[in-house]
Structure 1
């Protein structure tokens, strides 16, 4: 398919982050297959994660097709971009169609990006995840590449004001070793394995992050178990249940 929109968007994003001096570091890109289909399963802490997850595949020269909620595709500004980049709309009331589309894309040799937590994690840990990533990979016969992002939430996350022009924010992106789900394997077991891999990667990028909060009231972006003031996973789950 023609790629008239995706490359210019990538260049614009790279330019913006260069101007803002947001230090991007990508590790593990060698784990992303240079050819053929693959699922990238990434943690979700920011409204901008699809941009950075996509940039994480750039060293491998792959364009990632993200599964995203249908509402984004109907937005006057974002919609044309999402369609032009050939992302996959997800109608949550009829998810089977988007699942089939993702499997078809994978079989055609594309990279499909998913956020298995489905929504942003307010605790900045990996929430319970859905099984779609491993199921579609097993059905299409392609590997799953776990990925972790850290720092993106400091720019724009749930419950916090947008700071898209904030300068000098380090962003770490790490891809982990791929694994190949098999159709005969238990999807629940595979999903637990994927979550463990994503959690381990997230812990690594959190440990490698070059900054700490400058003041006590800036500790919101650290998870509770690292001494921050973000909600615990239990408190975050309760907030999600109340849709706060």
Structure 2
């Protein structure tokens, strides 16, 4: 497919990284295949995560097609960009269409990016994850590759003001070894194992992060930060969902 928009967006992102002097550290990029389909499944702590997950695939010369909620595609600014980069819209009222679209892209040799928690984690821990990533990888016969991003929440996350001009922020991207789910495998078991791998990777990355001041809002509570606990975050999410339902 023609790639007119994606290279421009990548160039703009790299310019932003240089201007802000972001300290981006990528490990495990060799796990991204240089050709063929694969599912990249990432934790979700920031509205900017897709940029950095995609950055982790660039050493392999690959572009990632992210699954994102339909509302992003309907926006007058982000919509043309998302469509131009051939990302995959997800209509939560009709999710089967997005699933079929993603499986077809995987079978066609594309990388598909999935945020399996579905929403940003306010607690900066890994929430319960959906089984779609495992199901898609099994259906398409492609590898499933976990990715961890950390530090991006300091720029823009849920419940906090944007800070898109903050300079010198360390950002970690860790790409894990792939697994290859089979069509006869237990999806629930594999999803639970995937969540355990994601949580272990995130904890490791958080503990190795070069800036860990006590009481930081962008650190999880179990590491001495002031982010909501998972239980508090669940209450905030439920309140937000109820407010949205009433509107």
Q: TM-score, normalised by structure 1?
A: 0.97
Offset of 1:200 from its aligned partner? 1.4
Query: SS in structure 2 opposite 1:39?
Result: strand
- Aligned equivalents of 1:82, 1:149: Cα separation in 2: 21
- Aligned equivalents of 1:43, 1:58: Cα separation in 2: 19
- Aligned equivalents of 1:138, 1:177: Cα separation in 2: 16
Aligned to 2:101: 101
Kindly report which structure 2 residues correspond to 1:118-197, keeping only aligned pairs within 5 A, or say none: 118-197=118-197
Query: SS in structure 2 opposite 1:34?
Result: coil
Aligned to 1:114: 114
User: Which one of 223, 229, 232 corresponds to residue 232 of structure 1?
Assistant: 229
Q: 4+ runs of 1 displaced by more than 3 Å?
A: none
Kindly report which structure 2 residues correspond to 1:199-238, keeping only aligned pairs within 5 A, or say none: 199-213=199-213, 216=215, 219-238=216-235
Aligned to 2:53: 53
- Aligned equivalents of 1:10, 1:200: Cα separation in 2: 30
- Aligned equivalents of 1:204, 1:33: Cα separation in 2: 24
- Aligned equivalents of 1:52, 1:26: Cα separation in 2: 9
Give the count of matched residue pairs.
241
- Aligned equivalents of 1:8, 1:154: Cα separation in 2: 25
> What stretches of structure 1 of length at least 5 have no aligned partner?
none
- Aligned equivalents of 2:56, 2:190: Cα separation in 1: 23
- Aligned equivalents of 1:11, 1:170: Cα separation in 2: 20
> What stretches of structure 2 of length at least 5 have no aligned partner?
242-247
Aligned to 2:28: 28
Aligned to 2:92: 92
Q: Is 99-108 or 51-60 further displaced after alignment?
A: 51-60
- Aligned equivalents of 1:84, 1:14: Cα separation in 2: 18
Residues 32-65 of structure 1, C-alpha deviation per residue, up to 9 Å, x if partnerless?
1111000000000001111111111111111000
Kindly report which structure 2 residues correspond to 1:8-23, keeping only aligned pairs within 5 A, or say none: 8-23=8-23
Query: SS in structure 2 opposite 1:57?
Result: helix
